[in-house]
Structures are given as structure tokens and as C-alpha cells.
Chains A and B, each alone.
Chain A
Amino acid sequence: MAEPLLRVENLKTQFFTDAGTVRAVDGISFEVHEGEIVGLVGESGAGKSVASMSLLRLVESPGEIVGGEITYKGETIFGLEEGPDGDLREREDMLSNVEMRDRIRGNEIAVIFQDPMESLNPVFTVGGQLREFIELNRGLGKDEARQEAIQMLREVGIPDPAERYHEYPHQFSGGMRQRVLIAMALACEPNLIIADEPTTALDVTVEGQILELVDDLQEKYDTSFIWVTHDMGVVAEICDRVNVMYLGEIIEQAPVDELFHATKHPYTTALLNSMPRPDRTVEELEPIEGVMPEAITPPSGCRFHPRCPDAREVCKRVHPDNEVIEHAAGYPHRAACVKHDVFDVGYDESVPLEKEPQVTAGTPGGGEEQ
């Protein structure tokens, strides 16, 4: 297999707060290959957004990347090494802040943010903002950049782009603004776009249009995407491969079909059962019991065990890594659940855990076990 476009290895990002250290991203590893749409899925607070901002080295204080390695096209976005005094220090070949700003952000890796209402600056025209980013990241002159901006607005389906170029964000609807943000990302001609829940703030019909647009444009420009979302429906629609995150960790990683049809982690199963699916009829949807614990004091062993229907005594003790369970479609299918044989920690002999009473976000409904 060719060298991936982006490789993330054991990335750790922590927030140093008064209440303690929040391990928002706690050792995740994944790859993005050229032309792929890779999903990053999980509930709110799983660390998806922090993970995606870490890739641009734009984690805001008091957050900090504390470990791991991020490699993009063979260049080191983040990497640590042991110094002569035994302390960890940033590696020599790590890109400087100026290089990150001038060469990576925008030119190579662009982002589409979640909130189209807030992401555009209210006091500048839409076209002006688009033009600024194009000028900056593609080194075009003013007029060329303007032409390009108008062309890009047309491309993302904004009617009368030459007119609307001069309008302000408040004159655009939510869906139109999201199109503008997509135009921004594509106009900089990056190789990778991080889309951080770009359709969450939109209503379903607009979401559908946007997803279709992204699908078309992705095919046309062959840009890779990291698609951050909590919505399994969106994942099914556009992702090639998926990483499921829970409490700062990736707990399952698989090509999209495998994830949906040969699910290996109980959390993924629970996520899938909690949403309506066109390929399955159920009496009632099953919400996942309880709420996700704080990343400041994660549960021992498997972090999902307090909410897991399959949890056994061993789950409290053993913290599973994200291991390869099987291979499918040329990619490994990884899962971090000790019930799989590769772990061999005695799951089958272990006693099932008595469910401790806890605050639940809903009651377990009917539906059958998969």
C-alpha cells in the first residue's frame, strides 16, 4: 500500500485545567490515504474536535499536544524525541510555527467548521473573506483571486456568484454559508480537508444537499477528507473508512461496510442501535445507557465498561488496545474489546458485571441483541 497522506500515531492531547488534566485525546492512531473520506465518529466530548485541531497544531490553551507523532506527506507536523537530559523535546524535523502557518494551514490542510453562522466574519463581505484566503494560500493577485473566488462560489452552487460575492454573511442562509465554507476549503486547493461536523447545524434537507455536493466535489478534485461527526447516517453516506472514538480513544476502526455489517465493538453496536436505519426495522430505538464519563477521570480498564451491555469482570481490569481483529477490503478491522479472541485475557470465563445503578440518559428499550 502506498504511503498514507496523513499518519497519526499514538496522538495525545491534554488540557491542563484547575480541576485536573483532561485527557481529551489519549493515544489515537489512524491514517488517511489519498482520495479517501475517513470518518471520526463519537458522542459529544469524545475528543473528535480536539483530535482534528491537533492535526493543524491549533489546540487552544490550556490544551497541548503531549505525545505521539503526526506525519503529513513525509513531513513531521508533530513529533517528540528524548533529549540528552532524558526529557522529551520537540524533534528537529518538526515543522516550525511559521511553516505550519505558511505552508500547511489552508494550502495543504484546510478545515470546514461546524457552525456556519459563526465561522464567517460578520463585518466583511463573503467574497472578500474567500479572496483573502485564496490570495494567502495560493499566492494569487487580487484580481485573479477574485475571479477564482467567484468561480468557487459557482462551483458550490451559489446562484449569481458575482453578485453575492459582495454580500455579507448575514445575507446568506445557513446552508449557503456552509457552501461558502466548503468553497473556502476547496479554493485553497488543499490535499486534505478536515470537516468538523459541517452539517450538524443544518436541517436535514440542506444536510443532504451538502453531502451530495461534497461527494461530487471530492470526486472532481480528489481531495481527502477527515469527516468528524456524531451521526452514523452521515458516516454511512459518505465515508470510506471509519474511526469510532470513545473518551479520547479510537475503539474501532474499519472500512465503512465492515463497521456497519460486521461490528466488532459493543459501543459501535450501541451507536448503531440508537439510530434509525433504512435497512432494519425495529420497534424502538435503543439509546446508549448513561452518559459518557469525564475525560478527567476515565473509568479503569475498558473505558466503556460502565455502560457496556457485554461488560464482564475482566473489562474493569484490562485496558484493551485497538487490535486488528480481521482484514477486510485490504484494510485491517481493529477493535478495542477484550471479548475478541486476540486479546486472550479470559473474557469467556469472566463473570458478567452486575449493572450498577447510574444516571441514565434513557431506559433500555426492547429490540434484540445483535
Chain B
Amino acid sequence: MGLLRYTIGRLIQAIPVLIGITVITFILANLAPGDPVRLMLQGQEVDQELIERVEQQYGLDRPIHERYATYMINLLQGDLGYSIHRDRPVTDLVIQRSGPTLMLVLSAYAFALATAIPLGILAATRRNEPTDHISRIVALIGVSTPSFWIGIMLILVFAIQLGVLPSSGLVYPWWGPDHYGYSGYPELIYQTIRHLLLPMIALGTLQMATLMRVERTQMIESLQGEYVKLARAYGVPERTILRKHAFQVAQLPIITIVGLNLSTALGGAVLIEYVFNINGLGRLLLEAIIGLDYQLIMGITVVIGTMFVVGVIITDISYAYVDPRVTYGDRD
């Protein structure tokens, strides 16, 4: 019951944040240089009257707060505007491109967590031994190497030199095996993984490196806790202490960091999608920026902002779920 109330509370708190995102995005888009009508004309000379008529048609002649109000009303109805360049509603484009991005980011996190936690624990239990030093070096390299460079290197080695993995594009399992002409679901899943592997590693390495170091520090601290001493004094086997008593406490900061790093991961996805030629939100955003497609830029920014907010809420809720000390506002 408490958790449900906490969840609802967090969702309500997210509303002003989301409004803030739209306000800032809207203002920034309006401050940006370039007149949308002239951009549409792509340098053609037309008379002033036509320009004014077009401005009127799109409501560009009205004051900014009125335009914002219209924008918000449309937004609440699920209308993110219209991409003049692509001649399609922004909402359609964003929905179509969200799948690949979410797939990439979530798999990168799965990869990061699946590797960082065991390696972090290993480093913690072998503190100041060779394993620990190696993990420290790996983490340092992981943190300091740009993800796009890792991506390019992975392509170079695994796609070009060894030729074992594809260098670009993703396979989307939701399109079904027939779309790709595969024999069936096993092949579809196999191909999905094959295509996902390199971009996933490229995007996940930074997260892995960060999480591994945090996991190590947290485990070391947790293993020195009084409750670990108590468990030892009551004859609890060392393995149980590691896996249960120390582990559970050490995971709390990991959850927080996963949530906060979502912004880096989403940002990183922009570059990785470009490197691996994936038709995701990030690439769409990059193209929209280059083409000064303001409606599209705003739409994507709002959607990515919302993804981040939702991600943070999910981490908050899981934190509250794992750590009983986070009160849900009431005690019973």
C-alpha cells in the first residue's frame, strides 16, 4: 500500500518537471537563429505578403505564450507537431524511432549490470590483489574512452577484420521473421542478438566501468559493516554473507547511479546510432538538428526528457522497494 502511494506521489511530482522540460525546449527553439518560413523556402525569393500569410497559417505571428499554450494543448492530445521537412507528424516519427533506441539503451544497461556486478564483487573480495588492479585499469579505460571510438574499433575488428558480426543496422524482433525473410523465431532472435551485440557493448562500456567501480567500493564498505561482523559471529558461511548480507546493502547506490546515468546513456545513444547506422531517436535528432527541423527537435527533446524522467521515477521506486528505510510517506 505504501509503495503504491509513494509511486503516485512520485508521478505527481514529475508533472512540474515535465512542464519545465516543455517550457525550456520551447523557449530554446524560439531563441534559435533562423526563420522557419524562410527555411521552408530554402532560399527562394518570394514576396513579403506570402511570408506573412504562411506565418499566419502556422500561427507564427502570435506572441510566444499563446503559441506555447497551443503547443501544450496539442501535446496533451499526443500531437508533437509537424515535421515540415519530412512532411509527417512528429508523433509518428518519434514512435517509430523510439523502439530501436529503447532496445539499444536497455540492452546496454543489461550488459553493463551483468558484467559490472560480478566483476565489482570480485574486485572487492580480492582487494589490492592483481584481479583488483586489472579491474581498476579496465574501468579507467572504459570511463575515459569515448563510446563512438569504441564503436568504430569494434566495427573494425569484429565486422571488417574478422567479419563475424554485422557492422550496421538492427533487427527488430517485433517485425516478425517474415519481414526479414528468416526461417522462424529462433533465427530472428539469433539475428537480433548478432546485430545488437556491438552497439550494445559500445554504449554499455562506460556504464559498466562506472558501475563496476561503484559496486567494488560499495561491497568493500558493506563487507566492513557491523552487520557482517554479526553474521560472522553467528556462524553464517562467508558465501551467504557475500551473496545476501553484504550484497543487498551494496546494491542501493547502484540503483541510483543507473537512474542518473540514464541521461549519459541516452546521449551516448545518439552517437552510437550514428556509428552503427541505427534508425533510432538519436539519429533522428541529429538529422533534425542539421536540417533545423524545429518541430522535430522539440518533439524528440520532449520525448527523451520524458524517458529520462520516467527512468528516474522507476529507479526511485525500485530504491524504495529495495531499501525499507526510504519511507513511503507513511509508516504503516
Which residues of A are in contact with B by a Cβ distance under 8 Å? 56, 58, 100-102, 104-107, 110-111, 113, 115, 118-125, 132-133, 136-137, 168, 170-171, 181, 184, 188
Contact = CB atoms under 8 A, between A and B. Distances in A.
Q: Which of A107, A123, A171, A181 has the most CB of B within 10 A?
A: A123
B130 interface: no
B236 interface: yes
B78 interface: no
A119 B235 contact: no
A123 B230 contact: no
B323 A58 contact: no
Contacts of B230: 111, 113, 119-120, 181, 184
Given A118-B225, A119-B226, A121-B227, A170 B236 contact: no
Q: Which of A107, A119, A184 has the most CB of B within 10 A?
A: A119
Given A119-B226, A136-B234, 18 more contacts: A56-B233, A58-B232, A105-B233, A106-B234, A106-B235, A111-B230, A113-B226, A118-B225, A121-B227, A122-B323, A124-B248, A132-B236, A133-B236, A136-B235, A137-B235, A168-B324, A168-B325, A184-B234
B233 A110 contact: yes
A102 B237 CA distance: 8
B234 A133 contact: yes
25 contacts: A56-B233, A58-B233, A101-B235, A104-B235, A106-B233, A107-B235, A110-B234, A111-B230, A111-B234, A113-B226, A113-B229, A119-B229, A119-B230, A120-B230, A121-B227, A121-B231, A122-B323, A122-B325, A123-B248, A136-B234, A170-B324, A170-B325, A181-B230, A184-B230, A184-B234
A118 B226 contact: yes
B331 interface: yes
A101 B248 CA distance: 22
A182 B235 CA distance: 16
A56 B231 CA distance: 13
Given A104-B235, A106-B235, A58 B229 contact: yes
B282 to A, nearest CB: 37
Contacts of A104: 235
A299 to B, nearest CB: 32
A55 to B, nearest CB: 10
Contacts of A58: 229, 232-233
Contacts of A101: 235, 237
Interface in B215-263: 225-227, 229-237, 245, 248-249, 252
Contacts of A168: 324-325
A84 B227 CA distance: 42
A121 B245 CA distance: 7
Q: Which of B245, B323, B324 has the most CB of A within 10 A?
A: B324
Contacts of B248: 121, 123-124
Nearest to A114: B226
Contacts of A171: 331
Contact of B234 (A118, A125, A188): A188
A122 to B, nearest CB: 6
B235 A105 contact: yes
Contact of A111 (B225, B233, B237, B323): B233
A125 B248 CA distance: 13
A110 B234 CA distance: 7
Given A168-B324, A168-B325, A170-B324, A120 B227 contact: yes
Nearest to B247: A123
Interface string B305-332: 0000000000000000011110000010
A123 B249 contact: yes
A124 B249 CA distance: 9
A137 B249 contact: no
A121 B234 contact: no
A137 B233 CA distance: 11
Contacts of B324: 122-123, 125, 168, 170
Contacts of A119: 226-227, 229-230
Nearest to B234: A106
A58 B331 CA distance: 37
B236 A136 contact: yes
B233 A121 contact: no
Nearest to B248: A123
Contacts of A188: 234
Contacts of B233: 56, 58, 105-106, 110-111, 113
A168 B322 CA distance: 12
B253 to A, nearest CB: 13
A106 B236 CA distance: 9
Contacts of A133: 234, 236
A102 B235 CA distance: 6
Nearest to A181: B230
Nearest to A167: B324
Contacts of A105: 232-235
B106 to A, nearest CB: 26
Interface in B184-241: 225-227, 229-237
A104 B218 CA distance: 30
Nearest to A188: B234
Nearest to B238: A101
Nearest to B251: A123
Contacts of B331: 171
Nearest to B245: A121
Nearest to A97: B238
A348 to B, nearest CB: 48
Contacts of B235: 100-102, 104-107, 136-137
B271 to A, nearest CB: 37
Contacts of B325: 122, 168, 170
Contacts of B226: 113, 115, 118-119
A85 B313 CA distance: 66
Contacts of A120: 227, 230
A171 to B, nearest CB: 7
Q: Which of A58, A102, A106 has the most CB of B within 10 A?
A: A106
Given A123-B324, A168-B324, A137 B234 contact: yes
A102 B225 CA distance: 22
Contacts of A125: 324
A107 B232 CA distance: 12
A170 B233 CA distance: 22
